[in-house]
Amino acid sequence: MNLVTLTNALSKLQVPDLREDDSANSSSTCIALIYGFAAREHMQRNLLRLLRESGHKNTSLYGHLQAIRIANDLQAASVKGQKIVVIGYSQGGLEAVRVAHELDKRGVKIALLVTIAGGGRGRLLPHRWADNPRAIPANVARCLNYFSENDLLGSDSPLEKNLAVPISNKQHIENILFSKEDRVSHIAIAKCYPADKVHPRVSEKLLKRLQSELAALQKECP
- Is the domain covering 27-220 a CATH 3.20.20.70 domain? no
Question: What does the pLDDT look like over 134-188, one tens digit per residue?
Answer: 999 999 999 999 999 999 889 988 899 999 999 999 999 999 999 999 999 999 9
What is the model's pTM? Answer: 0.89
Report how far apart, in Å, the C-alpha atoms of 107 and of each of 14, 76, 114, 131 are.
26, 12, 19, 21
Helix (H, G, I), strand (E, B) or coil at 176: strand
CB contact set of 215 (below 8 Å; sequence gap of 6+): none
- Across residues 195-212, what is the average pLDDT? 97
As separate numbers, helices (DSSP H) first and strands (DSSP E) second, the chain gives 7, 8
